[in-house]
Amino acid sequence: MLLRISLIVAILAGIGAGVVSYLEVSDKIPALTKQRDDENTAKKSALTELATTKTNLKKTQGVLAQTQQELAETQADRDKAVARADQQTQLAAGLSDKLTKVTQQRDDAQSSLEAYKATQLSPEQVFKLSKDLKNATAEIEVINGEKLVMLHTITRLTNELAKYIGPVDYVKLPADLHGKILVVDPKWDFVVLNIGEDQGLISDGELLVSRQGKLVAKVIVRSVQKDRSIANLVPGWKVGEMIEGDEVSPAHPAS
């Protein structure tokens, strides 16, 4: 009988311990479940961020490759512009040397011709000297024309080269460039000028419009032809109404 009572007590004690353990575990289950859910959520978020980071990295690599390509192309264009400018400068220097030589020949011929008056040279000598002087003068005119065209080309290439070297605020034009307005369109604020490439005018060059020495407006060249050009009014620079016959000169003359 005592053994049976002891067994019953042991069973009840075991059941009681089981109940207590169950209650303790039951209290921890929600916390563990929440911890598991939080960890799953954090894992999903981390995977999403990783995928986004990979996508952004791929886009960044694409942009970097494109930027490197554009940089290489820009450097190539700059090198070409530098080469053209150097070539034109060398040609201009050669023309200057040639002009100096021909000018000396003309001066020598002129001196010899003047000396004829005192030394009474033969008609053949006078004819030769006159012919040499005429040829030298003609050659000088040709060289001066070529030199002027070359200087205009150098100015254009210099402005083009400046675009690759650094920021440019304006285009410089020949200091002796002068022209007049042929046509005015007040509705669209553009004018037609009687100067163009032959006079050294360059696209995007700015010109001051004046009348009797007084400023009227400032225009910027948009289209250049051989001896004509079209320019638009620069906003904020309209002092008065432009008319046909108004004079134009460089706003930024080259030194």
Lowest mean pLDDT among 44-58, 108-122, 188-202, 233-247: 108-122
Residue 50 pLDDT grade (very low, low, confident, very high; cuts 50, 70, 90):
confident
pLDDT at position 175 over 80: yes
Instruction: Identify whether the C-beta of residue 243 lies closer than 8 Å to the C-beta of residue 184.
Output: yes
Environment class of 125 (CB within 10 Å of its CB; exposed 0-12, middle 13-18, buried 19+)? middle
Burial of 70 (0-12, 13-18, 19+ CB in 10 A): exposed
Using one digit for the tens of pLDDT, what is the confidence trace for 148-170? 666 566 566 655 655 555 555 67
Task: Band the pLDDT of 172: cuts 50, 70, 90.
Answer: confident
C-alpha angle with apex 105: 154 to 128, nearest 5 degrees? 135
pLDDT at residue 198 above 90? no
pLDDT of residue 156: 62
Instruction: Say if residues 178 and 248 touch (Cβ distance below 8 Å).
Output: yes
pLDDT at site 214? 93
pLDDT number for residue 230 = 93
Q: What Cα–Cα distance (Å) separates residue 184 from each residue in 159, 218, 234, 244?
A: 28, 13, 14, 6
Provide the token pair at 132: 């040499």
At 142 the pLDDT is: 67
- Inter-residue contact 234 to 251 (CB < 8 Å): no
